Amino acid sequence: MSKSSPQQFTPFLPSANPQAWLGVMGGGQLGRMFAQAAQSMGYQVAVLEPSDDCPAGQVAQRLINAGYSDGQGLDVLAAQCFAVTTEFENVPADSLSRLSQHVFVAPDAHGVSVAQDRIAEKSFFVGCAAKSGVQPAPHKVIASQADIDAIGDELLPGILKTVRMGYDGKGQVRVRSREDVRAAFDSMGQVACLLEKMLPLAYEVSVLTARGADGQSVVYPIAENVHRDGILFTTTVPGPNVSDDCAKKAQAAAQAIVAELGYVGVLCIEFFVLKDGSLVVNEMAPRPHNSGHYTMDACVTSQFAQQVRAMARLPLGDVRQHSPAVMLNILGDVWFSDETDATREPAWDQVLALPGANLHLYGKDDPRRARKMGHLTFVAPTLAEAQQQLNAACAILGIAP
């Protein structure tokens, strides 16, 4: 799949036009934090979202209630804004193409379409491996029973993943045999899937990078991630296990990938670090990312302010990290003290009494187990101190550290 050429436009400064609007496809928490960053820089924000009660809509100056493929809604967004972005990767690429006929779109339809299709994504990673220096895990497309019959022994055990719409561990099943693959394929409705070989994983890192329309790019410090039940649990920066050599390889690979993609905006790329120290590229998200939330409190320029800069064709911001940080996802589980449906407000006063605590709640009034409700970031002079305060917060909230 060929890369696209960056769209070239002159910067659009908020001071030059008090009605400078930026648009967001999607009304979730990423859209909310983007809107808050844009507003702090003098821009107004319009959100296109089918739900009339959404985190981003609560803070944006305008909420356009329309589906992501609704032509009239898209035209209203394009007429309102000089640039549009997306806060999630499953927005229809055709909608971004339609918007790009009238306004600057970052990321563009090409970058999003590659990231939202695991087959296209793996093909892209393989195609740019000579420049990035990294390969994805061995894999095979599973679209029929014949594909299952043809699975090589070297691909098992593995993970069967749906090609589209997978996130937070959804659409994924671990498999050890062809019989397991067959059962998982049937349970997924026999939609197109990708079988990936399970590798000897030491830990996972994510690399947050941003690229401007002028081709310049920046890359943030490497984040080390821990997942629970397929959902990001903590992000630690600097990663305690990440060597300087590994960090440099991952950062160089990320910048090569974002350039080869012809991408404009913030892009997060997840890598596996194997037990032998080698690096494997896993997947990418064409937007600010959960693992990049620490940048709001620990870096000169947050990932959301960086997205604003890229959209407005402004110089990209300083990515220096001024303090070690640990980020904890807050799920709806902490509103429940037992197995019943009774909820109670978590002890935020005790959490906020901890040194270095920064609480970000997303405006969701319906806590549900496993639902992302917010995050906590602890910053401190040393990483050990930040980790100590995170452990204290977990104890207060009833979360196993």
For residue range 189-215, list pLDDT tens digits in order: 999 999 999 999 999 999 999 999 999
Closest among 143, 163, 157, 271 to 209, alpha carbons compared: 271
290 is in an annotated binding site: no
322 is in an annotated binding site: no
What pTM did the predictor assign?
0.94
CB 28 within 8 A of CB 88: yes
pLDDT in tens, 358-378: 999 999 989 999 999 999 999
- Domains parsed from the chain with CATH numbers: 14-115 (3.40.50.20), 138-197 (3.30.1490.20), 201-397 (3.30.470.20)
Instruction: Go through 72-89 and write b for each residue having 16 or more CB atoms within 10 A of its CB, e for each that does not.
Output: ebbebbbebbbbbbbbbb
CA–CA dist 90, 71 (Å, integer): 17
pLDDT in tens, 31-46: 999 999 999 999 999 9
pLDDT at 3: 44
198 is in an annotated binding site: yes
pLDDT in tens, 276-289: 999 999 999 999 99
pLDDT at 126: 97
131 is in an annotated binding site: no
pLDDT at 15: 61
372 is in an annotated binding site: no
283 is in an annotated binding site: yes
pLDDT in tens, 51-86: 999 999 999 999 999 999 999 999 999 999 999 999
139 is in an annotated binding site: no
Per-residue CA distances from 298 to 295, 329, 377 (Å): 5, 16, 9
71 is in an annotated binding site: no
